[in-house]
């Protein structure tokens, strides 16, 4: 496996919102009761292990080779990441992980899976997002600095911005605050290889994403390989848009070989109301779907490692 990584000449990065990857045990400090066996979703161990294997299958379907780096959103805790990397379909593939431990009320966090053969972390930190008026605690930003096989130090930021649940305009300042924190951190790095990825709960033309582009980053959603089946990573009321984004600094934009949404047929289902397809999600409302994966599709970026 190491030899194939060395000879491939590429580094593959995947971003995926897992749609509520919770275990079945209660954390008394978090609002996770709906994902318990006795909760409203009747979240059993059978459903949990099926979900883990489905997420593993989804990651592996993103490209012909193993993804080198995988940014995950909506993962509950260390137990979930341990089970995903050590006991699911991914168990023999050597993935290691880093994740946040933030004050999100529901207990969901972000994480980075990585292949030690192609990426070696040097340091990492959790970047807390200071609250603005009426803002609830949200997910920390995960920052990882590490070395790749063939090019210089890589700086990775993984984000899951506050949702639009209370209305886009009302919650916009919360997502702007996340982008301000990211902007300050990026400015402190200076020229270099920077990846900012995650679920921003915003579209490419939103103020929060535009603010990051003002800091010199380019959103790969502006140049994705066209898909015949999907028009984004997320579908809401029949409209495809992308809440998931990967933004790159100038040196990395020059190295992009291809960028695309993983629209493998098994990740999609027919949309009965609006026509076409939608992501094959784990829950449709509170109704469990045995064959579901996630309500988001993976976003994939492949880089040349040769200059």
Give the strand pairing for 154-160 and 141-148: antiparallel
Residue 236: CA atoms inside 13 Å, Cβ hemisphere, count? Answer: 10
Q: What does the pLDDT read at residue 8?
A: 62
Q: What does the pLDDT read at residue 3?
A: 44
Q: What does the pLDDT read at residue 191?
A: 87
* Residue of 30, 97, 37, 105 lying closest to 69 (CA atoms): 97
CA gap 203, 237 in Å, rounded: 15
* Strands of the sheet with 109-114, listed across from one edge: 96-99, 109-114, 69-75, 10-21, 299-304, 256-261
Q: What does the pLDDT read at residue 1?
A: 44
CA gap 6, 103 in Å, rounded: 39
Those residues with Cβ within 8 angstroms of residue 266's Cβ, 6 or more apart along the chain or in another chain: 61, 280, 293
CA gap 194, 185 in Å, rounded: 11
CA gap 168, 147 in Å, rounded: 38
* Residue of 126, 192, 188, 134 lying closest to 159 (CA atoms): 126
Q: What does the pLDDT read at residue 101?
A: 94
Residues of the chain where predicted confidence (pLDDT) is lower than 70: 1-8, 307
Q: What does the pLDDT read at residue 149?
A: 78
Q: What does the pLDDT read at residue 305?
A: 83
Residue 7, Cβ neighbours under 10 Å: how many?
A: 7
CA gap 9, 137 in Å, rounded: 41
Q: What does the pLDDT read at residue 9?
A: 84
Q: What does the pLDDT read at residue 152?
A: 81
Radius of gyration for the alpha carbons in the chain, expressed in angstroms and rounded: 18
CA gap 23, 36 in Å, rounded: 8
Q: What does the pLDDT read at residue 5?
A: 45
């Amino acid at each position: 496996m190491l030899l194939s990584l060395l000879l491939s000449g590429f580094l593959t990065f995947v971003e995926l919102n897992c749609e509520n990857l919770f275990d079945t045990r209660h954390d008394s400090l978090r609002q996770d009761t709906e994902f318990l066996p006795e909760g409203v979703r009747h979240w059993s161990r059978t459903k949990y292990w099926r979900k883990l294997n489905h997420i593993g299958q989804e990651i592996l379907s993103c490209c012909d080779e193993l993804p080198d780096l995988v940014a995950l959103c909506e993962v509950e805790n260390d137990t979930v990441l341990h089970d995903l990397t050590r006991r699911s379909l991914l168990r023999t593939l050597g993935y290691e992980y880093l994740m946040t431990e933030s004050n999100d009320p529901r207990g969901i966090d972000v994480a980075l899976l990585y292949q030690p053969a192609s990426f070696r972390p040097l340091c990492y930190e959790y970047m807390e997002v200071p609250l603005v008026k009426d803002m609830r605690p949200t997910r920390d930003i995960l920052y990882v600095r590490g070395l790749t096989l063939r090019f210089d130090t890589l700086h990775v930021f993984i984000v899951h911005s506050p949702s639009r649940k209370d209305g886009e305009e009302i919650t916009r300042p919360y997502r702007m605050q996340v982008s301000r924190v990211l902007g300050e951190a990026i400015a402190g790095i200076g020229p270099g290889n920077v990846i900012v990825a995650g679920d921003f709960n915003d579209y490419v033309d939103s103020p929060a994403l535009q603010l990051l582009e003002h800091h010199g980053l380019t959103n790969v959603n502006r140049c994705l390989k066209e898909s015949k089946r999907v028009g984004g990573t997320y579908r809401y009321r029949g409209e495809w848009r992308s809440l998931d984004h990967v933004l790159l600094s100038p040196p990395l934009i020059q190295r992009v070989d291809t960028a695309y949404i993983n629209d493998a047929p098994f990740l999609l289902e027919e949309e009965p109301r609006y026509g076409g397809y939608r992501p094959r999600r784990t829950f449709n409302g509170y109704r469990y779907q045995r064959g579901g994966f996630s309500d988001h599709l993976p976003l994939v970026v492949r880089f040349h490692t040769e200059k």
